[in-house]
Each structure stands twice: as C-alpha cells, then as structure tokens.
C-alpha cells in the first residue's frame, strides 16, 4: 500500500516537473529549449556535441526543488557555486531566487553557459551570476583558495556518470565545502561502478536523501561536511 502511494507521488511530481519544459513552436536557426521556473520563461541554447550541452533531468529536479522549498532553502543573498553547470539552468534558477551564483564547468562549455546566463538573468536578478572555469581537481588552491571560499550552497546536478574524474570530483566537493556549507546534489543512478561514488562521498560527508524519483532513477541529496563543529 505504502509502496503504491510512493509510486503515485513519484509519477505526480515527475509529471509536474516535466511540465516545466516547452519547445519552440516555430522552427528557429538556433536550437533552444524552454522552461518555466520562478515565474520566468527561461530559454536555454543547447548543442548535441557534449554532455554539458543539453539540460539533463537531474537539473529539472534540482530547479523544481529550489523553487518549491524557498522557505527551508532560502537563496536570497546566499553565496552559491554550481559545479558541472552545463547549460546553466540550475544557476539561472538560483540567481532568479536571489543568490550570488558562480556557475562553473570545463573551459569549452563556458561560452554557451555565459550566453544562457546573461540572456536569462539580465534585468531579472538581484545579483548577476558569474561564470568561472572549474575543471574538477585542477588548480583548486589557485582558483578557489580555501581562505576565500565561503559558499553557503554547492549545487550539483548529474555530475556522477561514466567519466574518469570521480576522485577529482570528490576532491572538488571537499575543497569547496566549509563547515557551514550545504551541498544539494542530484544524482542519476546508472551503472554500479559509478553508483559506488555515493559510498566514497559518505566517507567525507553526512548524506541525507531528501527525495527520490524511482521512475527517473534519480535521488536528491543534502550533504554537509562530517564532524562539523559550529553548524
Ligand atoms: C551530465 S552533464 C550535467 C550538466 C548539468 N548539470 C545538467 O544537469 O543539465 C555533466 C556536466 O559535468 C561537466 N564535467 C564533466 N567532467 C568534468 C570535469 N572533469 N570538470 C568539470 N566539469 C566536468 C560536463 O561538462 C557537464 O556540464
């Protein structure tokens, strides 16, 4: 009975999340996808050439969560970093919710990321989001010195999949996370090997599953540094 109720909830919420997407009614020269979040129409330019060039379902789950949990996770004036931001939808939604956002990804993604962020946040946000290169595990001390990092939130959607940088990803979470930082991370479960990342992650962070969407094989986690002193 409880299982059936859970499945119905999953279907209902996933349908609600998916309704936030729309496609252009006219054929245009650039390929874009539309989304409705925080009372705004958001247009995202996509490409088909790499993982970061399309919006993944995990990003929709995180945007929906941020929009529908503003009381508990208030973004206004918060210092937020997104890792593996891709096309930038999550960073745009966090910006529309009032956060100071730094959207990061690999160098080759930054042009399109900047374009999407500018197009969807100019004149609409309290703080304009910044775009910065962050290749996981690379030059972290130089580009994000621990002494000046003070992120309230680290956001991450679908950053764990079959890529060879899982240890570097873990190192990056560890480097950016202060004692008071909250990580909101949406994970799509695919292969057993990469799913084991969750166990590695739990060696460093206290992990709480906030929601689960079995029909998408997606879970949303909240994490904080283990053994925090002053949270
Ligand atoms: C599956 S996509 C998810 C994109 C976006 N978060 C979303 O959910 O739509 C994974 C993202 O991680 C980024 N990425 C992969 N390897 C990376 C690395 N070594 N350093 C930094 N970013 C990386 C990709 O460029 C891509 O934007």
Point out the ligand 1 atom lying closest to the alpha carbon of residue 86. 27
CB-CB contact of 162 with 194 (8 Å): yes
Tell me which residue has its CA closest to atom 13 in ligand 1.
84
pLDDT at 231 over 80: no
Q: What is the mean pLDDT of residues 217-221?
A: 96
Residue 13 Cα to ligand 1 middle (Å): 25
For the chain, the average pLDDT equals: 92
Domains of the chain: 1-225 (3.40.50.150)
Confidence of residue 2 (pLDDT cuts 50, 70, 90): low
Among the ranges given (26-35, 36-45, 182-191), the one the predictor scored with the smallest mean pLDDT: 26-35
pLDDT of residue 124: 96
b/e 100-123 (16+ beta carbons within 10 angstroms → b): bbbbbbbeebbebbebbbeebbee
Atom of ligand 1 nearest to the CA of 51: 2
Structure-block tokens of residue 54: 């399309």
**pLDDT band with cut points at 50, 70 and 90 for residue 24:** confident
Confidence at 50, pLDDT banded by 50, 70, 90: low
Phi, then psi, of 145 in degrees rounded to 5: -55, 135
What is the spatial distance between Cα 79 and Cα 100, in angstroms, rounded to a whole number?
A: 5
Predicted confidence at residue 52, as pLDDT, reads 65
Atom number, ligand 1, closest to the C-alpha of residue 89: 9
How does DSSP assign 115-134, residue by residue? HHHHHHHTTT-SS--EEEE-
Cα 53 to middle of ligand 1, angstroms? 9
Give the per-residue SS3 of 8-55: HHHHHHHHHHHCCEECCCCCCCCCEEEEEECCEEEEEECCCCCHHHCC
**DSSP structural state of residue 162:** S
Total-model pTM: 0.94
CA of 229 to the centre of ligand 1 (A): 31
Residue 179: the pLDDT is 94
Which residues, including other chains, have CB under 8 Å from residue 79's CB and lie 6 or more apart? 99, 100, 150, 151, 152, 153
Write down the pLDDT at residue 117: 98
For residues 87 and 44, is the Cβ–Cβ distance under 8 A?
yes
CA 160–ligand 1 middle distance (angstroms)? 8
State the pLDDT at residue 46.
82
pLDDT tens digits along 161-170: 999 999 999 9
The pLDDT value given to residue 174? 97
Q: Which residues pair with 219 in a beta bridge?
A: 187, 212
pLDDT band at 5 (very low <50, low <70, confident <90, very high): low
Higher pLDDT, 4 or 145: 145
Confidence tier at 149 by pLDDT (50, 70, 90)? confident
Atom 4 of ligand 1, nearest CA residue: 86
How much is the pLDDT for 180? 95
**Which pLDDT band, with edges at 50, 70 and 90, does 30 fall under?**
confident
How close is the Cα of 159 to the center of ligand 1, in Å? Answer: 5
Ligand 1 atom nearest to 52, measured from its CA = 27
Res. 125: pLDDT tops 80: yes
Question: How far apart are the CA of 84 and the centre of ligand 1, in A?
Answer: 4
**What is the reported pLDDT for 23?**
81
Q: Residues lining ligand 1, judged by CB closer than 6 Å?
A: 51-52, 55-56, 58-59, 84-87, 105-106, 109, 134-136, 157-159, 161, 163, 165
């Amino acid at each position: 009975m409880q299982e059936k109720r859970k499945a119905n909830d999953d279907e209902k919420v996933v349908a609600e999340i998916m309704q936030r997407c729309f496609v252009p009614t006219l054929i245009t020269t650039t390929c874009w996808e539309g989304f409705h979040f925080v009372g705004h129409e958001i247009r995202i330019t996509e490409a088909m050439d790499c993982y970061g060039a399309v919006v993944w379902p995990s990003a929709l789950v995180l945007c929906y969560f941020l929009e529908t949990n503003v009381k508990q996770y208030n973004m206004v004036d918060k210092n937020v970093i997104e890792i593996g931001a891709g096309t930038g939808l999550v960073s745009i939604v966090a910006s529309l919710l009032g956060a100071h956002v730094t959207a990061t990804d690999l160098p080759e993604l930054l042009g399109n990321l900047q374009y999407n962020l500018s197009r969807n946040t100019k004149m609409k946000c309290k703080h304009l989001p910044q775009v910065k290169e962050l290749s996981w595990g690379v030059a972290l001390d130089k580009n994000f010195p621990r002494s000046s990092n003070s992120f309230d939130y680290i956001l991450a959607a679908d950053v764990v999949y079959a890529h060879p940088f899982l240890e570097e990803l873990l190192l990056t979470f560890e480097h950016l996370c202060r004692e008071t930082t909250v990580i909101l991370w949406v994970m799509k479960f695919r292969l057993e090997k990469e799913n084991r990342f969750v166990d590695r992650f739990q060696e460093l962070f206290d992990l709480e599953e906030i929601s689960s969407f079995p029909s998408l094989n997606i879970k949303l986690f909240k994490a904080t540094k283990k053994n925090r002193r002053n949270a």
